[in-house]
């Protein structure tokens, strides 16, 4: 068995998740369920000033200069290294016990379509490798984009490895800032795509009106009433009409777009929150109906949305034929699935195995994901 660390900060930009994953070596190129165990994990909030800089960069990319981009790259790499160091201390392990670190970085801009498609993450892996003396695998998304793919979502391959069950139709729904779904078919094939906003608008609206980082437990939103006219307007966003493969980010679902949709409408803030929660639930379930010919018997939820009781209740009402659980049922807490996934992708990279699924990203063919930054001499 080998030990890997995974580091992740998602589109919510609420902090860094770090996971220590134990993986049994994979001897074939098949992305089939394999033995792995989450040994320990932690979450660390971004310092408030850095978090504000990151959110400003993501919301206003045209206003970010090269110097600020470079500074953010180094600062994020430093905090990722610190999180990995704290994880080692928590596990009482030396750096030499770790085969590699898989570091996703922080996405600032994701533009996988157009004449010059790209995706941009910051968090210099050289900083992590230098400070910890551990090999780092990073830059996971761009090779898939180079192969004609969306570069996202990347977790469906890991979902298949961690949560797939032969002969059974399952779905995994990750609700971070952006929500995405994975359909694990009974025949072993996999489909997945981003469904649209997850927590991004919910959290932004809570920050604006509650002065809190999020609507804890979804209690505020649950006390409101869905505004059907606003919901219908939001559902007319062109992203929802696109067919998979597709991916998106905050550059598409911006606060400015939401404000424009609201206009001068006199809707009470709590009712807007309820409507945004219904939007997340509705677009997830609509996406699942597009992907699956029949309802999955089991739907596994991960990401921060798993802790929003109002959102979970809305999903439950929309999916009456499915059993809803969090991924904790299968050994990985919902808040640590993505960081564990990038530990697993680092494992695939070192073995020379493909990390993408063309059926998910739309790439022309399977490709290895990630570049290796050596932390120690051979």
What's the average model confidence in pLDDT over 58-66? Answer: 93
pTM for the structure as a whole: 0.95
Tell me: do 272 and 133 sit in the same domain. no
Rounded Cα distance, 213 and 297, in Å: 34
Q: How confident is the model at residue 31 (pLDDT cuts 50, 70, 90)?
A: very low
pLDDT of residue 265: 84
Query: What spatial distance separates the first Cα and last Cα of the chain, rounded to whole Å?
Result: 20
pLDDT digits (tens, 9 = 90+) for 276-321: 999 999 999 999 999 998 999 999 999 999 999 999 999 999 999 9
- pLDDT class of 236 with cuts at 50, 70, 90: very high
Q: Quick one: 13 and 97 in the same domain?
A: yes
Going by C-beta distance under 8 Å and a sequence separation of 6 or more, which residues neighbour residue 126? 77, 373
Q: Which domain holds residue 100?
A: 2-154+337-373
Same domain, 170 and 275: yes
Q: State whether 260 and 326 are in the same domain.
A: yes
Q: Give the mean model confidence (pLDDT) for residues 23-32.
A: 60
Q: Which among 295, 315, 330 is the end of a domain?
A: 330
149-201 pLDDT, tens digit per residue, is 999 999 999 999 999 998 999 999 999 999 999 999 999 999 999 999 999 99
Q: Do 370 and 254 meet the contact criterion of CB atoms below 8 Å apart?
A: no
Residue 27 pLDDT > 80: no
Are residue 83 and residue 216 in the same domain, yes or no? no
pLDDT at 28 > cutoff 60: no
Phi and psi torsions of 297, nearest 5°: -65, -30
Band of pLDDT at residue 1, cut at 50, 70 and 90: confident
Helix (H, G, I), strand (E, B) or coil at 175: strand
Indicate whether 317 and 187 sit together in one domain. Answer: yes
How far is it, in rounded angstroms, from Cα 174 to Cα 79?
24
User: In this model, does residue 29 exceed pLDDT 50?
Assistant: no
378, part of any domain? no
Same domain, 99 and 181: no
Q: Is the pLDDT of residue 34 over 80?
A: no
**What is the structure's pLDDT at 341?**
98
Do both 282 and 240 map to the same domain? yes
Q: CA 202, 206, 207: angle at the middle one, nearest 5?
A: 120
The percent of residues above 90 in pLDDT, for the chain, comes to 94
CATH of the domain at 249: 3.30.420.40
52 and 24 both lie in a single domain:
yes
Q: Both tokens of residue 87?
A: 């994880």
Higher pLDDT, 264 or 65: 65
Q: In this structure, are 168 and 316 located in the same domain? A: yes
* Mean pLDDT estimate for the chain: 95
Measured CA to CA, the distance from residue 5 to residue 132 in angstroms comes to 12
Residue 303: inside a domain = yes
Checking if the pLDDT of 148 tops 60, the result is: yes
Q: What is the pLDDT of residue 87?
A: 98
**Are 200 and 170 in the same domain?**
yes
Number of domains in the chain: 2
Please indicate, yes or no, whether residues 14 and 135 belong to a single structural domain of this protein: yes
């Amino acid at each position: 068995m080998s030990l890997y660390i995974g580091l992740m900060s998602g589109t919510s930009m609420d902090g860094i998740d770090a996971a220590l994953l134990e993986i049994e070596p994979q001897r074939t190129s098949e992305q089939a369920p394999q033995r792995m165990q989450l040994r320990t994990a932690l979450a660390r909030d971004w310092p408030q000033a850095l978090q504000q800089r990151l959110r400003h960069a993501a919301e206003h990319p045209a206003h970010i200069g090269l110097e600020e981009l470079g500074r953010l790259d180094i600062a994020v790499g430093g905090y990722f290294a610190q999180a990995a160091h704290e994880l080692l201390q928590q596990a009482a392990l030396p750096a030499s016990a770790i085969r590699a670190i898989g570091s996703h970085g922080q996405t600032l801009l994701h533009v996988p379509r157009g004449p010059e498609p790209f995706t941009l993450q910051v968090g210099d892996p050289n900083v992590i490798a230098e400070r910890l003396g551990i090999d780092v695998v990073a830059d996971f998304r761009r090779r898939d984009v180079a192969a004609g793919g969306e570069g996202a979502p990347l977790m469906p391959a890991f979902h298949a490895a961690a949560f797939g069950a032969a002969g059974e139709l399952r779905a995994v729904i990750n609700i971070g800032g952006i929500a995405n779904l994975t359909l694990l078919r009974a025949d072993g094939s996999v489909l997945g795509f981003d469904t649209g906003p997850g927590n991004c608008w919910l959290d932004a609206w809570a920050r604006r009106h509650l002065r809190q980082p999020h609507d804890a437990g979804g209690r505020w939103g649950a006390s409101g009433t869905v505004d059907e006219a606003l919901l219908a307007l939001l559902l007319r966003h062109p992203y929802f009409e696109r067919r998979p493969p597709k991916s998106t980010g905050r550059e598409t679902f911006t606060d400015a777009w939401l404000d424009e949709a609201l206009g001068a409408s006199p809707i009470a803030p709590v009712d807007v929150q309820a409507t945004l929660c219904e939007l997340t639930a509705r677009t997830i379930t609509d996406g699942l109906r597009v992907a699956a010919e029949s309802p999955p018997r089991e739907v596994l939820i991960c990401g921060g949305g798993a802790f929003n009781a109002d959102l979970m209740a809305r999903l439950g009402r929309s999916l009456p034929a499915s059993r809803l659980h969090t991924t904790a049922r299968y050994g990985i807490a919902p808040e640590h699935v993505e960081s564990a996934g990038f530990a697993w992708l680092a494992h695939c990279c070192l073995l020379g195995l493909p990390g993408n699924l063309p059926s998910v990203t739309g790439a022309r063919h399977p490709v290895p994901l990630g570049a290796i930054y050596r932390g120690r001499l051979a």
